[in-house]
Amino acid sequence: MSEAEVITRIEGSVGRITLNRPKALHALNLGMCEILTEALLAWRDDAAVQSVLIDHAGERGFCAGGDIRMIAESGATDAVEAKAFFLSEYRLNHLMFEYPKPITAVVDGIVMGGGVGISEPAKVRIATERTTYAMPETGIGLFPDVGGGWFLPRLPGETGTWLALTGARLKAADTVALGIHTHFVVSADLVDLIESVGYHPHAPGAEGDAWGSDPGAAPLAPHREAIDRLFAHDTVEAIFEALETDGSDWALAQLATLKTKSPQSLKVTLRQLRAGRAMSSFAEVMAMEYRLGGRVVRTHDFQEGVRAVIVDKDNAPKWSPATLEGVTEADLDALFAPLASDEEWTPIGG
């Protein structure tokens, strides 16, 4: 395999993209986003390319997120580098969301954060028995960006709210049941599936149907009613109260998990998802998340979350404010406020 961090080529009538940064679980950096964008733009108007397939080298994961260390280091100063990354990454997300040709994402292994951002816009999303999906950002003082404000509120019931706030990890049986992924294919069949996409590039879903199988019962199914009931509130305090009042072992386990997360991130995330649910375009969500991204990475909680989880790995972040009550509506308003007109996020060519 080439040393390039992203390998792009045309195979028959399929534009093929392979993430190739396995030691970092293919975590996205600015250069990778630029290569992905360049390829997709070149193929968009190329009549010889009828569909696109994105996969990854190795077996450990599809994409574990973005380059969090770089983002944190940038956020500790002027955040210029972090904003440049967000601008490129979110433009890539939007380009994929609006892409006129079908995209197939083979999500084999870990898919979190930025990996969700480059797979959820795909028309066909293939999970395997090795797939682990999560949006764990509230545990590092961040929020589920890369379009989380669009995709998560549109999952069934309040499952997106639960996923975003708790950072819960799901396997393929649940991701397929929720519609996060469209097909389950055993990893041993991926080589054949990928080859067969080239035979019917206009209808890659047909190949997913042909090679797909039943991932089994969804472990989350027994809790769906409780999720929809307990996570339907519009304040984090009300969700906490509902979980405590419910008192079941499952509800109290969710509450215990939430109490380990950044209070600021929980409130930012809930407002993001409620706002995103009401937005009519993916671009509008991207603009909101770009405003948030450039500000949140400069906050104490993001810096502390990265220190505790990624740098020192003591998993003992000291959040500030330490309580939900300490995060005010004014604090949230400042994080969500519009940018100067010449600083706002815009799509490619926008």
Number of domains in the chain: 2
Q: 345 and 317 share a domain?
A: yes
> Of residues 137, 158, 289, 304, which has the active-site annotation?
137
Angstrom distance (rounded) from CA 136 to CA 266: 11
Q: 232 and 347 share a domain?
A: yes
Q: 88 and 206 share a domain?
A: yes
Model pLDDT, residue 199: 83
CATH code: domain of residue 14: 3.90.226.10
Model pLDDT, residue 58: 86
**pLDDT > 90: percent of the chain:** 91
pLDDT in tens, 176-201: 999 999 999 999 999 999 998 888 78
Structural domain harbouring 26? 1-134+171-219
pLDDT in tens, 21-78: 999 999 999 999 999 999 999 999 999 999 999 999 987 889 999 989 899 999 999 9
Roughly how many angstroms between the first and final C-alpha of the chain, as a whole number? Answer: 36
Q: 181 and 260 share a domain?
A: no
* Residue 321, preceding peptide bond in cis (omega within 30° of 0): yes
Closest CA to 269 of 324, 311, 191: 324
**Residue 2 banded pLDDT, cuts 50, 70, 90:** low
Model pLDDT, residue 63: 95
pLDDT in tens, 134-170: 999 999 999 999 999 999 999 999 999 999 999 999 9
| 293 noted as active-site residue | no
Q: 157 and 294 share a domain?
A: yes
| 137 noted as active-site residue | yes
> Of residues 55, 67, 120, 145, which has the active-site annotation?
145
> Of residues 66, 167, 212, 293, which has the active-site annotation?
66
> Of residues 109, 114, 149, 208, which has the active-site annotation?
114
Model pLDDT, residue 349: 84
Q: 130 and 50 share a domain?
A: yes
